[in-house]
Amino acid sequence: MATALQLTGIGKSFDGFQALTDADFDARWGEVHALLGENGAGKSSLMNIAAGLYAPEAGRMWVDDNPVQLGGPRDAARHRIGMVHQHFKLVKPFTVAENILLGHPLASGEGSHRKRLGQLEAQIRAKAAELGFDIDPTQRVAHLSIAEQQRVEILKVLLAGARILILDEPTAVLTDAEAERLLSTVQALARSGAAVVLVTHKMADVKTYADRVTVMRGGRTVKTVDPKQVAVAELVQLTVGDSVAVPQRRRDGVAAGAPRLTVRGLRSAVAGGRPALDGVDLQLKAGEIYGLAGVGGNGQGELAAALMGLDDAVEGDITLQDVGDLKRLSNAQRRSLQFAAIPADRYGLALAGALTVAENFGIGQVHAGSYGSPWRLDTRKLEADAQAAVEQFDVQGVRSLGQKAALLSGGNAQKLVLAREFGRAPRIVLAHSPSRGLDVRAGAEVHARLLAARDAGAAVLLISEDLDEVLALADRVGVMTRGRIVAEFDQPADRQAVGQAMTDHG
């Protein structure tokens, strides 16, 4: 088969972080080529370059054996490349046809808007029938299910002329039946002569629907193989790395204490598609780090939000030892019970960038009255405590306590969050991706704080997409996929077994 798309030696960095290093990939006409890897492996970054969203800093690209240099997504569309992103780019108040018209050649055609929209509605019905999609072009997107919205995205790129179709984690939010139907459709599309790139982490999808699979890890291309000729165990090993012993920074022989936080049957409501939380059962014990592994988008963020009090729209039980129902407590009450919360979005949820370093440090205790009333703050005491915390937690780059928190680097911003959250010995620590985006030194300092909290008797929940981080810190390891915890492992856990659990249930 002739080559439809080829990328060689691709390099790309973001704010000093090297996302891609000498990455290679090619897709042929008539095939489904899977791009497999963990979150952060570089899959989406590489395909965003193929779709014209990012410009590579190194390497070359060919379409149909012709060298190309894309100036943006419109350029990619002219080369008949279309990408369906994991997070849909649809205008919810618009109809299906109005959304598709935005990127369609008819948008700048002749005739009235109504006439062009009518022509497009006819094209949508014809293409939907050809693909087996049940789509009403006059329906507003806001009223469609997740699966239906995804079909609209596919129709949008195909009707714009795409013959190289890139699907980024297309089955992440679909039910099994919806996923099977979608992948059968795109496989048929490839057999009709198109080239389909399936960006995924799911072994079952790769084994069933892909003609070839390229594995990426750490921003590099590891290997391209025929999925029918290799065992799942080999694909798992290529994806997560060799099953080598990871140094365990644990207290050998020290048993965990009593259950401190118990979660039973936690579910989130959702309009269409699968619920983000679909019956989570979890128990956090005193003096233990429970590491929750899994590929992003499987409910980890929603679980963290529910436990941190950021989302009350959940069903099920969250019970705190000696207190009872956690859901009835306000955030202020949770803080008074010595909860430490480290959300994944440190700038959006953990810090107020426009406030000062001192204000960000003290904000958690102002309502508790530690610094007087909110209208008459004891700024001297607040600044003294903030200065001591900055020194204790080695928050670099603080020229003065009146400096805006937004000016801190990622690592130092995270250290400021830790200084505030661990200012009083916590009983419960909820940490979601606490070292994401940090350099090795800053990440190690975050890890040291989590271990110290555990050793002081706290119950620690560590949610991370970095399997190395989970295996290095956790006393017990859980695996979360599709809104449920599907497996648990005592330490020392086998890396390949954990990786298998992450993919088996996808």
* pLDDT of 272 higher than 60: no
The domain boundary, picked from 240, 274, 297, lies at 240
**Measured distance CA(152)–CA(169) in Å, rounded:** 16
Express each pLDDT in 207-239 by its tens digit: 999 999 999 988 999 999 999 999 888 888 888
- Do residue 304 and residue 389 come from a single domain? no
Q: What is the pLDDT of residue 438?
A: 65
The answer on 141 and 85 residing in a single domain is yes
Rounded to whole angstroms, the Cα distance separating 80 from 74 reads 10
Residues 187 and 260 both lie in one domain:
no
Same domain, 418 and 429: no
Q: Residues 306, 309, 313, 318: is their CA dihedral positive or negative? A: positive
Q: Please check whether residue 345 lies inside any domain of the structure.
A: no
Whether 298 is covered by a domain: the verdict is yes
Residues 232 and 253 in one domain: no
Say if CB 302 and CB 277 are below 8 A apart. Answer: yes
What's the CA dihedral at 139, 144, 148, 149 to 10 degrees?
90
Please indicate, yes or no, whether residues 150 and 92 belong to a single structural domain of this protein: yes
Give the pLDDT of residue 245.
Answer: 41
Q: Are residues 324 and 383 in the same domain?
A: no
Q: Which of 194, 217, 240 is the last residue of a domain?
A: 240
Mean pLDDT of 265-290: 82
Which pair of structure tokens corresponds to residue 449? 């704080």
Q: What is the pLDDT of residue 95?
A: 93
**Shared domain check, 220 and 106:** yes
Average pLDDT over residues 320-340: 80
348 in a structural domain? no
Who wins on pLDDT, 296 or 85?
85
CA distance 371 to 202: 51
350 in any annotated domain: no
Query: Side chain identity at 124, as an amino acid letter?
Result: I
Does residue 312 fall inside a structural domain? Answer: yes
Distance CA 318, CA 351 (A): 26
pLDDT at 506 over 60: no
DSSP result, 242-284: --PPPP--S-TTPPP-SEEEEEEEEEE--SSS--SSEEEEEEE
Give a yes or no: residue 138 inside a domain: yes
How many distinct structural domains can be found in the chain?
3
Q: Which of 200, 198, 123, 108 is nearest to 156 (CA)?
A: 123
pLDDT score, position 248: 47
Residue 247 has what pLDDT? 40
- 489 found inside a domain: yes
Instruction: Say if residue 486's pLDDT is above 60.
Output: yes
**pLDDT class of 96 with cuts at 50, 70, 90:** very high
Q: Please provide residue 344's backbone torsions phi and psi, each rounded to the nearest 5 degrees.
A: -65, -35
Q: Which CA distances in Å does 317 have to 214, 257, 264, 307, 325?
A: 42, 21, 5, 11, 7
Residues 288 and 392 in one domain: no
Same domain, 257 and 386: no
Q: Is this structure's pTM higher than 0.75? A: no
| Boundary-marking domain end, from 196, 225, 240 | 240
Better-predicted residue by pLDDT, 506 or 357: 357
User: Which distant-in-sequence residues (6+ apart) come within 8 Å of 380 by Cβ?
Assistant: none
Quote the CA–CA distance of 310 and 327 in Å, as a whole number: 11
Q: Is 396 part of any domain?
A: yes
Any idea what the CATH number is for the domain that residue 271 is in?
A: 3.40.50.300
Q: Using one digit for the tens of pLDDT, what is the confidence trace for 147-173?
A: 788 889 999 999 988 999 999 888 766
Quick one: three-class SS letters along 47-59?
HHHHCCCCCCCEE
CA angle 357/361/364 to nearest 5° reads: 145
Same domain? For 17 and 119 the reply is: yes
Could you tell me if 476 and 389 lie in one domain? Answer: no
What pLDDT is recorded for position 197?
Answer: 97
Its domain, for residue 323, covers 244-338+425-506
Percent share of the chain, pLDDT over 70: 90
pLDDT in tens, 347-396: 778 888 888 888 888 877 766 667 766 677 778 888 888 888 888 888 87
Query: Which phi and psi (to 5°) does residue 151 adopt?
Result: -65, -35
